[in-house]
């Protein structure tokens, strides 16, 4: 194992800051944080909300700093992109605010490196700044497709301010997972395809030997409200009308069960599952139903599990990924508005999934790149 303390004669202090829109950005940081700790880095975590709760649960002994992000209101029926555009001023103000926050934290805690997952304001020339994103060129609704090249250029202004942009995907066009989200245009000069990031990486997530309880159907709930709860209500109602034994992992939310008591005989709810238990349950369950968020997709690919993907309505990224990966034969998909459990199960059972060998998480590659960048930055300062 690489020992940066021995290499650099001083312990490196790293601030890890995932975006707090859901828990996906935080969950994919878990294997990287484990690798940094194993390699004797000092790690400080900063996030908020459910993302912060997840990191505190996984790393209770690490220093944690609250870092609220932009207060965004989500829609029950309209496109989330249009809602985001209306609140663009809040996002830009948040980027400026978090940049000022970083300067204070660097001074207070003597930070050497910051790793930012989709927080565009967390770069600072006095330290090494790394940005993580799989959306170099976001997908927009049909009426706004013409703006996509301009969005790519606009985001590039922020991304190029970092020393490195890690894209958690595979460069190979035949096996990549993000398609046009990161492969459509030329990547920025500081960007690099680094391979996947999944919390179920075997290097730190080996089975504890316990036999997981098996379920016919396992549901993973995630994503912004109110759509997360709408999906939960629909699935509870449809599962309750079957004899399937089902598990619903609520994504650090309390289940909405008070109005559905008559449906709950065969459904088990889990507020949160530890990583090893979660991994075992996914490996042993029959059919998995979940959102098409990219972190969830990486987790499923890491485990070699197909699934029924239900993209969040009005979220073009998830709608694109669900369609793109279904066409490649990795998953199947059905939209939320017309979702029918029995039809979805028949579709799943009839589909021949592509079992082509896909890349798995290699945190050693991330660590080596980080060390090389850090040493080069120190050399340039002299």
The whole-chain average pLDDT of the chain stands at 88
Give the E-state strand segments of 78-122 in sequence order. Answer: 113-117
pLDDT for 312 equals 92
What would the pLDDT profile of 81-108 be if each residue is shown by its tens digit? 556 565 576 778 889 999 999 999 999 9
Answer yes or no: do 145 and 284 share one domain: no
The residue ranking higher by pLDDT, 149 or 7, is: 149
258 pLDDT more than 90: no
Q: Tell me if 192 is assigned to some domain.
A: yes
Q: Tell me if 211 is assigned to some domain.
A: no
Q: Which residues contact 209 (CB under 8 A, 6 or more apart)?
A: none
Are 141 and 316 contacting, i.e. CB atoms less than 8 angstroms apart?
yes
Edge-first strand listing for the sheet containing 267-270:
267-270, 246-249, 217-220, 287-290, 308-309, 332-333
Q: Among 32-36, 86-90, 166-170, 230-234, whose mean pLDDT is lowest?
A: 86-90
Q: Residue with structure tokens 């609250």?
A: 66
pLDDT for 374 equals 95
- What global pTM score does this model have? 0.90
Confidence of residue 202 (pLDDT cuts 50, 70, 90): confident
Q: Tell me if 318 is assigned to some domain.
A: yes
Distance, CA of 158 to CA of 120 (rounded, Å): 6
Answer yes or no: do 237 and 272 share one domain: yes
Q: Tell me if 203 is assigned to some domain.
A: no
% the chain with pLDDT above 70: 85
Q: Tell me if 212 is assigned to some domain.
A: no
Distance, CA of 164 to CA of 129 (rounded, Å): 7
* Mean pLDDT calculated for residue range 137-163: 90
Answer yes or no: do 224 and 179 share one domain: no
Q: Tell me if 208 is assigned to some domain.
A: no
Answer yes or no: do 238 and 183 share one domain: no
CA 241 to chain centre: 32
CA angle, 307 as apex, 302 and 312 as ends, to 5°?
Answer: 105
Answer yes or no: do 16 and 134 share one domain: yes
Answer yes or no: do 285 and 346 share one domain: yes
What would the pLDDT profile of 268-312 be if each residue is shown by its tens digit? 999 889 999 999 999 999 999 999 999 999 999 999 999 999 999
Answer yes or no: do 318 and 369 share one domain: no
CATH code (residue 336): 3.40.50.2000
Confidence of residue 7 (pLDDT cuts 50, 70, 90): very low
Answer yes or no: do 175 and 54 share one domain: yes
Q: Residue with structure tokens 């555009």?
A: 85
Distance, CA of 286 to CA of 232 (rounded, Å): 19
Collapsed DSSP state (helix, strand, coil) of residue 5: helix
Are 236 and 228 contacting, i.e. CB atoms less than 8 angstroms apart?
no
Distance, CA of 280 to CA of 144 (rounded, Å): 42
Answer yes or no: do 47 and 182 share one domain: yes
Answer yes or no: do 239 and 286 share one domain: yes
Confidence of residue 6 (pLDDT cuts 50, 70, 90): very low
Q: Tell me if 141 is assigned to some domain.
A: yes
Answer yes or no: do 62 and 188 share one domain: yes
Number of domains in the chain: 2
Task: Using alpha carbons, select from 146, 121, 137 the residue that is nearest to residue 169.
Answer: 137
pLDDT for 90 equals 74
Provide the domain limits for residue 277: 217-350
pLDDT for 156 equals 94
Answer yes or no: do 100 and 40 share one domain: yes
Q: Tell me if 328 is assigned to some domain.
A: yes
Q: Among 1-15, 40-54, 174-188, 236-250, whose mean pLDDT is lowest?
A: 1-15
Distance, CA of 307 to CA of 288 (rounded, Å): 5
């Amino acid at each position: 194992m690489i020992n940066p303390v021995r290499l650099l004669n001083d312990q490196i202090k790293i601030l890890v800051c995932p975006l707090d829109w859901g828990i996906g950005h935080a969950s994919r940081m878990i294997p990287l944080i484990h690798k940094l700790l194993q390699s004797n880095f000092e790690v400080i975590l900063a996030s908020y909300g459910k993302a912060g709760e997840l990191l505190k649960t996984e790393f209770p002994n690490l220093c944690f700093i609250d870092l609220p992000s932009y207060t965004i209101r989500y829609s029950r029926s309209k496109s989330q992109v249009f809602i985001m555009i209306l609140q663009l001023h809040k996002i830009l103000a948040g980027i400026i605010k978090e940049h000022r926050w970083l300067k204070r934290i660097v001074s207070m805690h003597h930070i050497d490196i910051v790793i930012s997952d989709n927080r565009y304001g967390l770069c600072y020339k006095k330290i090494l700044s790394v940005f993580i994103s799989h959306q170099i060129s976001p997908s927009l609704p049909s009426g706004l497709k013409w703006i996509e090249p301009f969005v790519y250029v606009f985001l590039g202004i922020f991304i190029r301010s970092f020393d490195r942009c890690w894209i958690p995907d595979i460069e190979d066009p035949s096996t990549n997972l993000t398609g046009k989200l990161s492969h459509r245009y030329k990547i920025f000069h500081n960007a690099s395809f680094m391979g996947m990031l999944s919390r179920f990486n075997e290097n730190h997530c080996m089975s504890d030997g316990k036999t997981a309880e098996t379920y016919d159907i396992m549901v993973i709930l995630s994503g912004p409200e109110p759509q997360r709860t709408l999906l939960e209500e629909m699935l509870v109602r449809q599962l309750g009308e079957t004899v399937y034994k089902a598990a619903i992992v609520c994504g650090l939310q309390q289940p909405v069960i008070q109005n559905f008591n008559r449906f709950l005989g065969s459904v088990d709810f889990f507020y949160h599952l530890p990583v090893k238990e979660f991994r075992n349950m996914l490996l042993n369950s029959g059919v998995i139903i979940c959102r098409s968020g990219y972190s969830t997709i990486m987790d499923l690919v890491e485990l070699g599990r197909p699934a029924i993907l239900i993209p969040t309505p009005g979220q073009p990224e998830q709608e694109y990924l669900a369609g793109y990966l279904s066409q490649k034969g990795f998953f199947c998909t059905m939209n939320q508005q017309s979702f029918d459990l029995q039809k979805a199960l028949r579709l799943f059972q009839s589909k021949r999934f592509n079992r082509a060998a896909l890349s798995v998480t290699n945190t050693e590659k991330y660590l080596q790149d980080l060390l090389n960048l850090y040493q080069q930055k120190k050399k340039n300062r002299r």
